[in-house]
Chain A
Amino acid sequence: MTNQAANQGIGQAVRRKEDFRFLTGQGHYTDDINRPGQLYAAFLRSPHAFAKIKSIDTTAASKKPGVVAIYTGKDVAADKVGGLICGWTVKDKKGEPHKAPRHDIIAVEYVRHVGDQVAVVIADTVAHAKDAVEAIQVDYEVLKPVVDVREAVKPGAPQVHPDVPGNLCYDWEFGDKAATEKAFASAAHITKLELVNNRLSPNPMEPRSAIGEYDPGTDTTTVYTTSQNPHVLRLILCAFVFGLPEHKVRVIAPDVGGGFGSKIFNYPEETVCVWAARKLKKPIKWTSDRTEAFLTDAHGRDHVTHAELALDKDGKFLGLRVDTMANMGAYLSTFASAVPTYLYALLLAGQYTTPAIYAEVKAIFTNTTPVDAYRGAGRPEATYVVERLVEAAAREMNIDPAEIRRRNFIPPTAFPYQTPVACVYDSGNYAKALDEACRLADYANFPKRKAEAARKGKLRGIGLCAYIEACGLAPSSVVGSLGAGVGLWESAQIRFNATGTVFVYTGAHSHGQGHETTFAQIVSDKLGVPLENIEVVHGDTAQVPMGMGTYGSRSLAVGGSAIVRAADKIIEKGKKIAAHLMEASVDDVTYDKGVFSIKGTDKQVPMAQVAFTAYVPHNYPPDLEPGLEASAFYDPSNFTFPAGVHIAEVEIDSDTGVTTIVNWVAVDDFGKVINPMIVEGQVHGGIAQGIGQALLEGVVYDQESGQLLTASFLDYCMPRADNLPSYKIGMIETPCPHNPLGVKGCGEAGAIAAPAALMNAITDALGTEKIDMPATPLKVWQVIQSHNFAAAAE
């Protein structure tokens, strides 16, 4: 290995390979792409939350300048286009499959949320398309909508779909009900909380965009789109929506400007672009504006939960029960059904030995934007329930919140650990992370700081969160048995060029995670190739083997493992070539860091020479194929379970209700770390989204009209630089025992841990549990007024 390659391998904070193009404005995002002769789509969207479409008049609109075509739901229906599907079937308490009502790509008879597609205009420019949209006349019969799950389940509530009685998508349960009831019956103390997990808008900075293109000569359809999983999108479009052969459809997800889950799903707009492109035989481009993004990008969270924790007299957890209503929105999005079930209830053990757990989840349709996975997807909701309960129980029982956690942690000797909710945790050392977090946060001296703040008239609080995450959902046989319509393996291909440079093809997709660097580091480490000689290729179904994409913090644990397996195959073949070159037996060849050698001799052949020989096989083993490339598919044997402890410390101004975060500590265990710089960046971003949820963000619908009141960055409070602190980051490392890299995944941890840590700090400062996210200054001030805390702080 060259010295250069030695400093670029696993564990090094290598600067990112992808940065140059982004820093110089040379990224290629979907909206940056223009195809010859392309036309533009603009959508007419429903101004009503719930209405019957009585008639649509496009006469005036069709005469506007530049208009090529106007289509309504009836035009789509006439072409027998399939509806959008949900790819994960959850079975309810009775074993019946969830209700997945038809989701047309343009509404046919009813509109079911503000922003639902009513018609699409295709025109020569975006401006002309939008002008014509304004001229379409629609006669609606406006119906009374329902937006809140608590209202939607009441008798007499508006029915969002005629074939879904009571708006109930499913009524699901998990865990041992009898054992849990027994645990509660024997409890010395029961802590109860009513919790709302607020609805969020993912808001990646790049709005969604798509270009559909059809080549009649080859009968090939190409889709450029902002996707986290281009192969999955191709599969859905081909097998379910259009009935097209997969080899005639190419999906390209070029540079994608953030996803956070919202770009996993198959959306109506990209589907319409494909349909219209095939119909008009012209490239059709659509780019969302931000208001459309608020109206139509799948939202996240939106749970209403009643939760109870049973404890013995020493604060040992005996049982946990949870009753949750989850808002699905107006339609069942691509993976929506799995989020409040398998990604939620299976994580309710947290980091603890709680022996009995039971969860009931009702998924409810409402006249709102569909809800699906958003950074963390179910796991933040689970952690929020568990960690708010634990902190509240500690306060009620006068046990230090850190101490109550220590008493209940799964000990490091207990791994692999079978929880009562199906998961087998791989590895961990929870007390070590807590100790380190307490050290970094100077937890012991918090009472002094609280007293000092009180002297200044400030309310100071500290909050802990010990979170667990499940990443890299697998193996495929297990997720299949739980209702997933896909496998959750990943693919990789390593292809040497004759001159020793390397292409790495991955089925994962990078939209900010830095795969082009991290995956190259793995290959550099395994094969001794300098980073600049490695090109990581992703996001194009015509180049990359079938892959499952990036979500759920799976890319390194699953996709990285596939790369290791492919590298192993390269080394195996390389040994045969090297043995031939060194006139030795294959059994005598050893390999280390890019060099093949013969045991007990000074004979050596570097990888580059092996690669050249493979492609110029003049002196070559007679029975061996030329070429040096290898593919691998990796299906993990289990999830990975990253864990850690975050500690938030806040100071609240009781006059204004403004919460200031004065300290933030995160100590995480992601197993082995390939690039600590990138991992810390992922933690920072996750924390920011978690703080956003707890302090600033919240999707608000008008209860009467169903109008989205937070449809712009003026109304929806995104975290800005001056809202957030800098973070203290610590790491501990318990390698994952079941994948070849020992890695666990880091993408969602911050978003999972932060809301509970911050709300525990705020409730500590306020002295009451009764405040919901986002804890805006108004809400905090109202709590202070109602409890007259200002006086108490004197």
Chain B
Amino acid sequence: MTISVTMTVNGQSVTREVEPRTLLVQFLREHLGLTGTHIGCDTSQCGACVVHVDGRSVKSCTILAAQAQGANVTTIEGLAANGQLHPMQEAFREHHALQCGFCTPGMIMSAIDLVQRNPNPSEETVRHELEGNLCRCTGYHNIVKAVMAGAQAMRG
């Protein structure tokens, strides 16, 4: 049995016939080929799969694709406009906030959401807010620096 799911992903309306148990992350990766959103665990702990659903950060492994019916979803692939990196992506590059790159998409999506809610976060706030995104490479030192710098850039 399949169901029809329609949503807007990175500005484009998409419809796919999927098994009802399909998770949003599987919908993005397997049905839309948007493999920038990663799967790093099976307990919604690591945050590698964070995307924006209607402007809020969501771990896309925690909701079914069907729950995003009609929603507006932004993934890491939808951030850079015309080859121009989003200020947060640029801050991650400038401050060497990524090594293997696997946690990076989720980390950036979480960081943007955090800055949208809190445009001028303290280091402590950044560390607390990123508690749901695991990185094994960087020790977070440069991620925290990048998010602070990205926040400043997003404030303009």
Interface positions of A (Cβ within 8 A of B)? 15-16, 18-29, 31-32, 127, 203-207, 255-258, 260, 289-291, 511-514, 677-678, 680-682, 684-689, 712-714, 718-722, 724, 726-727, 750
Asked if B96 and A677 sit within 8 Å, CB to CB, the answer is yes
Can you add 12 more A-B contacts, CB < 8 Å, to A257-B102, A290-B43?
A20-B85, A22-B98, A25-B35, A27-B36, A204-B100, A205-B40, A205-B103, A207-B40, A689-B139, A713-B41, A713-B46, A721-B126
Asked if A206 and B102 sit within 8 Å, CB to CB, the answer is yes
Closest CB in chain B relative to A292 CB, distance in Å: 9
Closest CB in chain A relative to B96 CB, distance in Å: 5
Bound: A714/B99 CA distance, A: 24
Bound: A669/B121 CA distance, A: 35
Asked if B138 and A289 sit within 8 Å, CB to CB, the answer is no
Other-chain contact of A688, B36, B131, B139 (Cβ < 8 Å):
B139
Q: Contacts A24-B79, A29-B38, A290-B40: A727 and B101 contacting too (C-beta < 8 A)?
A: no
Residue-wise interface mask of B (124-148) relative to A, using a CB-CB cutoff of 8 A (1 in contact, 0 not):
1011101101111111111110000
26 contacting pairs across A/B (C-beta < 8 A)? A20-B93, A24-B36, A24-B89, A27-B101, A32-B29, A203-B136, A204-B102, A205-B46, A205-B100, A256-B100, A258-B137, A289-B41, A512-B137, A678-B96, A681-B138, A684-B141, A684-B142, A687-B139, A688-B138, A688-B140, A713-B46, A719-B139, A722-B128, A722-B130, A726-B123, A726-B141
Other-chain contact of A25, B36, B39, B103, B143 (Cβ < 8 Å):
B36
A-chain residues with CB within 8 Å of residue B136 when the two chains form the complex: 203-205, 258, 260, 685, 689, 718
Residue-wise interface mask of B (15-38) relative to A, using a CB-CB cutoff of 8 A (1 in contact, 0 not):
000010100000001000011111
* Interface SS, A side: loop
**In this complex, which of A24, A28, A290 has the most chain B Cβ atoms within 10 angstroms of its Cβ?**
A24
Asked if A258 and B100 sit within 8 Å, CB to CB, the answer is yes
Q: Contacts A29-B38, A255-B101, A257-B100: A713 and B138 contacting too (C-beta < 8 A)?
A: no
Asked if A722 and B131 sit within 8 Å, CB to CB, the answer is yes
Other-chain contact of A721, B34, B85, B127 (Cβ < 8 Å):
B127
B-chain residues with CB within 8 Å of residue A689 when the two chains form the complex: 136, 139
Asked if B75 and A25 sit within 8 Å, CB to CB, the answer is yes
Q: Size class of B's contact patch?
A: 35 or more
Asked if B36 and A26 sit within 8 Å, CB to CB, the answer is yes
A-chain residues with CB within 8 Å of residue B48 when the two chains form the complex: 205
Q: Contacts A206-B102, A712-B45, A720-B131: A127 and B21 contacting too (C-beta < 8 A)?
A: yes
A-chain residues with CB within 8 Å of residue B103 when the two chains form the complex: 205, 257
Closest CB in chain A relative to B128 CB, distance in Å: 5
Q: 4 closest Cβ contacts across the A-B interface?
A: A25-B36, A22-B101, A257-B102, A688-B139
Within 8 A of A (CB), among B102-131: 102-105, 108, 123-124, 126-128, 130-131
Bound: A25/B143 CA distance, A: 17
Counting CB contacts under 8 A, is B54 at the interface?
A: no
Bound: A513/B108 CA distance, A: 20
Bound: A331/B26 CA distance, A: 34
Closest CB in chain A relative to B102 CB, distance in Å: 3
Closest CB in chain A relative to B103 CB, distance in Å: 5
Closest CB in chain B relative to A700 CB, distance in Å: 17
Bound: A511/B101 CA distance, A: 9
Asked if B100 and A512 sit within 8 Å, CB to CB, the answer is yes
Asked if A721 and B96 sit within 8 Å, CB to CB, the answer is no
Asked if A15 and B102 sit within 8 Å, CB to CB, the answer is no
A-chain residues with CB within 8 Å of residue B137 when the two chains form the complex: 205, 258, 512, 681, 685
A-chain residues with CB within 8 Å of residue B139 when the two chains form the complex: 684-689, 719, 724, 727, 750
Counting CB contacts under 8 A, is B80 at the interface?
A: yes
Asked if B93 and A23 sit within 8 Å, CB to CB, the answer is yes
Bound: A204/B45 CA distance, A: 14
B-chain residues with CB within 8 Å of residue A724 when the two chains form the complex: 127, 139-141
Closest CB in chain A relative to B156 CB, distance in Å: 20
Closest CB in chain B relative to A747 CB, distance in Å: 10
B141's closest neighbor in chain A, by CB? A684
B80's closest neighbor in chain A, by CB? A24
Q: Contacts A24-B80, A25-B37: A19 and B98 contacting too (C-beta < 8 A)?
A: yes
Asked if B99 and A514 sit within 8 Å, CB to CB, the answer is yes
B-chain residues with CB within 8 Å of residue A511 when the two chains form the complex: 100
Asked if A712 and B43 sit within 8 Å, CB to CB, the answer is yes
Asked if B141 and A23 sit within 8 Å, CB to CB, the answer is no
Within 8 A of A (CB), among B60-83: 75-77, 79-80
Asked if A205 and B135 sit within 8 Å, CB to CB, the answer is yes
Bound: A258/B94 CA distance, A: 21
Other-chain contact of B144, A26, A713, A714, A721 (Cβ < 8 Å):
A721
Bound: A123/B29 CA distance, A: 19
Asked if B42 and A290 sit within 8 Å, CB to CB, the answer is yes
Bound: A713/B139 CA distance, A: 17
Closest CB in chain B relative to A32 CB, distance in Å: 4
Bound: A300/B32 CA distance, A: 38
Closest CB in chain A relative to B5 CB, distance in Å: 16
Asked if A681 and B131 sit within 8 Å, CB to CB, the answer is no
A-chain residues with CB within 8 Å of residue B126 when the two chains form the complex: 721
A-chain residues with CB within 8 Å of residue B100 when the two chains form the complex: 204-206, 255-258, 511-512
Asked if B43 and A685 sit within 8 Å, CB to CB, the answer is no
Closest CB in chain B relative to A87 CB, distance in Å: 25
Closest CB in chain B relative to A28 CB, distance in Å: 8
B36's closest neighbor in chain A, by CB? A25
Bound: A726/B147 CA distance, A: 14
